[in-house]
Structure 1
Amino acid sequence: MIEHLKRIGLTELEAKCYLSLIEHGEQTGYEVAKNISSSRSNVYSSLSSLSKKGACQVIEGKSTTYVAVAIEELISKLQLEFKQSATILNEEIKRAKQKEYHFYNTQGLEAIKSVVNRNIAHSKKEIIVDIDTDALTYFLPALEEADKSGIKVTIITLSPIETTIENVIIDMPSAPSSETTSFSMLFDQEKVLIGSLDKNLVPSAVETKHPALIHEVKLAIRHDMIMEKLKADFGDEIEAKYGKDFFTLL
């Protein structure tokens, strides 16, 4: 029994004192010490600790005596405390495990090329790039190398290109293109790089693993893929029914 009492948080001497109180009933510290053959100073210290742990009660009088709390009451108390501690610990660990997502800003064409090449080299399964055709030339060699190595590379761009990559989607603009040359890249579905290579501004990009931004980039890419499929399969019918501006609005 001593080993089981130790498992619920009692020291060996506390367990012996508790069992003595269970067996002999109300006792003074001297009597407990005599029954378990231990020094009185150590026994008094253990009885005080048992009282604080809720395992015994102290009766003040001419002589201070001690009474064991019934084992079922002690177990109920310990179970309640365990549940409370487990709940608090679970919540604290969840908070401690919450990820912090950072946004890394890069400026300058050469710096952006370095960031893109690093992410391409680090990718394991898939790379999706949505980019202006002229800007694509900066990154095409590294993308082709990744494609040759077995990584699934998909390019969404504005006009046909010469490349060894098979998965190329031509997103023909339905409206005049803006002056801003923006791009987005999705690496292994877990990191995005979005930015601008506008000739009139300093090229800049943001790199992050933030799930909200990844979700938005995925939606934009899915939208482009679906629209191009609809254009290819039903473009004439859709324009005949809804007008030439239908795809422009989307």
Structure 2
Amino acid sequence: MIDEKINLLKSIGLTDAESKVYLTLIKHGNNSGYEASKLSGVPRSKIYNTLESLVRKGFILFSENDGNTRYTSIPINEISQKIKRDMNYTLDELDVQLKDYEAVTDLESIWHIKEYNNVFAKCRNIINSTEKELLIQVWEEDISEIIDEVVQMQSMGIKIGVVFFSENEKSTLPLNNYVKHGMLKQKYEEMGGRFITLVSDNKQVVFGQILSGNVAEVIWTKSKPMISMAGECVRHDMYFYRGADICKDEMKKELGNDYSKIRDIF
């Protein structure tokens, strides 16, 4: 649990040592440099530079009495408000300063996006820019990242087709046009994890692996062959599961309850 707190603090700009010292001061109240070093595990050779850096970054305060300097933490809610205010100002200023600059990306190339949050931020951006048609393959563990945007597009009349990877019979989606894909174990083993496919207007595609809630890597491109291949994969799954629903009993008898035998092509 302490590692998670340290990682969160590092994500807002603290070093590993600064994170440990800040957490120590939160937990133990005001400390001298020696005490902060002993309690945090940060070496004495680094502790005073670390404390000085935390003062400059606005995470701690210090008091000097008779040559004795002591340090105390600033509450995280106060820091949070400051960071939000500073970040909003910076982003507003960037909007002004860079409004005449247009990012030019060669989307015939294949670009890689890493980390779970970055992947789904790009997916949401693409969904919100869709004008006519969305094709998606998504697993139950990840649907919450994009479902609000997809529902919004549906309400605007965008044509949507979703292949939903779930073996939970009770799981449903608030969408008019989706199929539920089984065979998750086989797919997971083949792909080495979950995956996401998103094709927007037959103009751009995101496709790739999701290994956990933090680790993911996808490609993003406007390459026509990649778009065609990804779009056909989504359509193929929808064709199959629509047909399976019509002939459910006979297909289960021949192919198994999860239709897994259909994949045995040799």
TM-score (norm. length: structure 1): 0.54
Q: CA deviation at 1:174?
A: 7.1
Please provide the CA RMSD for this pair.
2.6
The aligned residue for residue 246 of structure 1 is: 261
Inter-CA distance 249–149: structure 2 relative to 1 (3 Å threshold): same
The aligned amino acid for 1:144 is V
Inter-CA distance 110–242: structure 2 relative to 1 (3 Å threshold): closer
Q: CA deviation at 1:162?
A: 4.2
Q: CA deviation at 1:200?
A: 8.3
The aligned residue for residue 146 of structure 1 is: 153
The aligned residue for residue 119 of structure 1 is: 126
**TM-superposition CA deviations, 1:43-79 (whole Å, max 9, x none):** xxxxxxxxxxxxxxxxxxxxxxxxxxxxxxxxxxxxx
The aligned residue for residue 69 of structure 1 is: none
Q: CA deviation at 1:241?
A: 4.6
Structure 2 gap segments, 5+ residues each = 1-105
* Contact kept? 2:163, 2:181, Cα under 8 Å: yes
Q: CA deviation at 1:154?
A: 1.9
Q: CA deviation at 1:240?
A: 3.6
* Contact kept? 2:113, 2:218, Cα under 8 Å: yes
Equivalent position SS for 1:144: helix
Which stretches of structure 1, 4 residues or more, deviate above 4 A after TM superposition? 174-177, 241-245
Partners of 2:182 and 2:158 lie apart in 1 by 26
Structure 1 gap segments, 5+ residues each = 1-98
Partners of 1:122 and 1:232 lie apart in 2 by 32
The aligned amino acid for 1:192 is V
Inter-CA distance 100–225: structure 2 relative to 1 (3 Å threshold): closer
Q: CA deviation at 1:126?
A: 0.9
Number of aligned residue pairs: 152
Inter-CA distance 174–152: structure 2 relative to 1 (3 Å threshold): same
**TM-superposition CA deviations, 1:181-239 (whole Å, max 9, x none):** 11111101121100122118721111111111112112211221122123212233234
The aligned amino acid for 1:165 is L
Residue 190 (structure 1) aligned to one of 189, 198, 203? 203
Q: Give the greater-gyration-radius structure (CA).
A: 1
* Contact kept? 1:191, 1:209, Cα under 8 Å: yes
TM-score (norm. length: structure 2): 0.51
Equivalent position SS for 1:216: helix
Inter-CA distance 165–238: structure 2 relative to 1 (3 Å threshold): closer
Partners of 2:213 and 2:199 lie apart in 1 by 25
Inter-CA distance 226–146: structure 2 relative to 1 (3 Å threshold): same
* Contact kept? 2:255, 2:262, Cα under 8 Å: no
The aligned residue for residue 243 of structure 2 is: 230
- Does the alignment pair 1:104 with 2:111? yes
* Contact kept? 1:175, 1:248, Cα under 8 Å: no
Partners of 2:220 and 2:204 lie apart in 1 by 7
Percent identity, aligned pairs only, is 14
Q: Aligned ranges for residues 1-250 of structure 1 at < 5 Å?
A: 101-159=108-166, 161-173=171-183, 176-178=186-188, 180-199=193-212, 202-241=215-254, 245-249=260-264
Inter-CA distance 245–208: structure 2 relative to 1 (3 Å threshold): closer
